[in-house]
Amino acid sequence: MQANRWGARCAVRRYFSLVSRLGDGAFWYALMGLMMLGDGRDGLAAALQLALTGLVALALYKGLKRWTRRPRPFAADGRIRAWVAPLDEFSFPSGHTLHAVAFTIVALAHYPWLAMVLVPFTASVAVSRVVLGLHYPSDVLAATGIGALLAGASLWLGPLVPALAQAPG
């Protein structure tokens, strides 16, 4: 609840609202596009791996939300304010955080030098979900673990993706 009060500060609310909005997908789509433009077939392979990881993450978190049906903090506690409109009804897990963690780990496996941008952005996305009143800290922590496991699976299966992107034709 204390973190949610930070949102009362205009500059804090604007920052986390922007980070949250970029975490909706725009940041990640731009990253995939830059990978493809800047690194040819290797960039295409990395972007394809991110896209496939993202599709699995989407199905996973939507299924978990339907299964757990955990109300969002602002819906369960009148003292918590939603500083932005939620994208869906339920809280667990944080889809923004799950995607951000999974994408960051996979992207860093391809381009470790992106850590100075991706790690702070992903941390900001995770914190934004609590500050904006849309998730409990446990939603964010669980999503971090799920995203890391998903990224690990993606990287383990990853040799299949470059082979697809490198195929002639």
List the domains of the chain with CATH numbers: 24-166 (1.20.144.10)
- Six token digits for residue 142: 């669980």
Side chain identity, residue 23: G
- Six token digits for residue 20: 């949250």
Q: Are 95 and 135 in contact (CB under 8 A)?
A: no
Q: Are 150 and 100 in contact (CB under 8 A)?
A: no
Q: Give the residue carrying structure tokens 């009804």.
A: 89
Q: Give the residue carrying structure tokens 């339920």.
A: 90
Query: What percentage of the chain carries pLDDT values higher than 90?
Result: 75
* 96 CA to centre of own chain: 4
What's the mean pLDDT in 128-138? 95
Name the residue among 144, 135, 139, 143 with its Cα closest to residue 4: 135
Name the residue among 51, 15, 39 with its Cα closest to residue 114: 39
SS3 70: coil
**pLDDT value, residue 167:** 53
- Confidence label for 159 from pLDDT (cuts 50, 70 and 90): low
Q: DSSP letter at 112?
A: G
Q: Give the residue carrying structure tokens 């896209």.
A: 51
H helices present in the chain, as ranges = 2-6, 10-21, 27-68, 73-76, 95-110, 115-131, 137-157, 160-166
- Taking only the tens place, the pLDDT of each residue in 30-72 is 999 999 999 999 999 999 999 999 999 999 999 999 999 999 9
**pLDDT value, residue 9:** 86
pLDDT at 147 over 90: yes
- Confidence label for 10 from pLDDT (cuts 50, 70 and 90): confident
Q: Give the residue carrying structure tokens 């973190």.
A: 3
